Amino acid sequence: MKKRVTAAAIALGVALTASAGVYAAGNLQEIRASLNYKLGIIVNGQVYAMKDGNGKTLAPITYNGTTYLPVRSISEALNTSVTYDAANSRVVIGGSASPGTSSPEPAAVPVQRPKSLPSDFPLPSDAKVFNLIEGSATGTPSATFSYLTKQDLETLGNTYKEYFVRKGATAKSEEISAEAFSIIDAGSTFSVTLDAYLGTGSYGGYNIVNVIWSGK
């Protein structure tokens, strides 16, 4: 579960060089990291070249075994807004945050089923979908999105596990518990990655499920 990609895992320093002066020296810690030019980025099946505002090519940074990506470039690739809140020294991804809050509320709407999903793909009745990106990689429908739900994660994880078996999964990596689940399955007609965990802060009381789907 620690490997899940979240906004916190995206390197902020690369994207915020123009605003670095707002930080006091005591807020910065010098580290030794490596530019990982060999790591390619694929977005919805297409090779993506990360660039800064001046068109300069950017590279992922590897530090202590973790890879960091430039937040602004990645947000543009995913068609998600990103702004810098200088007054509160924070990055806001996908919406605005009110002063004093730890994170913005998601732009969520009740069960707006992605068109690229199969009609029988399980979504809880209370699902609130947000950050939806749909496309077609090499002619195959794909969808990347997140949703909020209050449904029990262990029950939900087992529901997905059974669904992918019926779907013909031949490659499976599945970890399911009451607090989180991670499922990476694939078959002859689909591939899917599911990552779910308990919400905190403004998401308190909800469970968060991230979905990357490709197939029919």
38 residue type, one letter: K
Q: Is residue 178 part of a domain?
A: yes
Q: Are residues 66 and 144 in the same domain?
A: no
Q: In sequence order, what are the beta bridge partners of 172?
A: 185
Q: What local confidence, expressed as pLDDT, does residue 83 receive?
A: 65
Q: Is residue 100 part of a domain?
A: no
Flag whether pLDDT at 181 surpasses 90. yes
Flag whether pLDDT at 129 surpasses 70. yes
Q: What local confidence, expressed as pLDDT, does residue 203 receive?
A: 83
Q: Are residues 75 and 138 in the same domain?
A: no
The number of distinct structural domains making up the chain is: 2
Flag whether pLDDT at 13 surpasses 70. no
* Residue-by-residue DSSP string for 151-206: S-HHHHHHHHHHHHHHTT--EEEEEE-SSEEEEEEE-SSEEEEEEEEE--GGGTT-
In sequence order, the 6+-apart residues with CB closer than 8 A to the CB of 59 are 35, 36, 37, 39, 50
Q: Are residues 118 and 204 in the same domain?
A: yes
Select the more confidently predicted residue: 7 or 160. 160
Q: Are residues 138 and 206 in the same domain?
A: yes
Q: Are residues 82 and 153 in the same domain?
A: no
Q: What local confidence, expressed as pLDDT, does residue 135 receive?
A: 81
Read off the tokens for 119. 């009609």
Q: Which of 58, 93, 128 is the last residue of a domain?
A: 93
Q: Report the alpha-carbon distance of residue 180 to residue 4 in Å, rounded.
A: 11
Q: Is residue 39 part of a domain?
A: yes
Q: For 168-184, what is the mean pLDDT? A: 94
Give the pLDDT confidence of 191-206 residue by residue, as tens digits: 999 999 998 887 888 9
Q: Which of 28, 60, 93 is the last residue of a domain?
A: 93
Angle, vertex CA 56, rays to CA 54 and CA 60, nearest 5: 125
Task: Provide the pLDDT confidence category of residue 103 given band limits of 50, 70 and 90.
Answer: very low
Q: Are residues 18 and 83 in the same domain?
A: yes
Q: Are residues 159 and 89 in the same domain?
A: no
Flag whether pLDDT at 150 surpasses 80. yes
Q: Is residue 44 part of a domain?
A: yes
Select the more confidently predicted residue: 126 or 21. 126
Q: Is residue 199 part of a domain?
A: yes
Neighbours of 119 (CB within 10 A): 5
Q: Are residues 182 and 137 in the same domain?
A: yes
In sequence order, the 6+-apart residues with CB closer than 8 A to the CB of 129 are 108, 109, 111, 112, 113, 114, 123, 145, 146, 147
Flag whether pLDDT at 21 surpasses 80. no
Q: Is residue 59 part of a domain?
A: yes
Give the pLDDT confidence of 33-50 residue by residue, as tens digits: 888 877 778 777 777 787
Q: DSSP letter for 91, please.
A: E
Q: Is residue 86 part of a domain?
A: yes
Flag whether pLDDT at 26 surpasses 70. no
From 72, 64, 68, select the one nearest 94 (Cα to Cα).
Answer: 72
Question: What residues make up the domain containing 40?
Answer: 7-93
Flag whether pLDDT at 84 surpasses 50. yes
Flag whether pLDDT at 107 surpasses 80. no
Q: Report the alpha-carbon distance of residue 131 to residue 192 in Å, rounded.
A: 17
Query: Residue 204 sits in a domain of what CATH number?
Result: 3.30.310
Q: Is residue 145 part of a domain?
A: yes
Q: Report the alpha-carbon distance of residue 60 to residue 40 in Å, rounded.
A: 9
Q: What is the pTM of this model?
A: 0.52
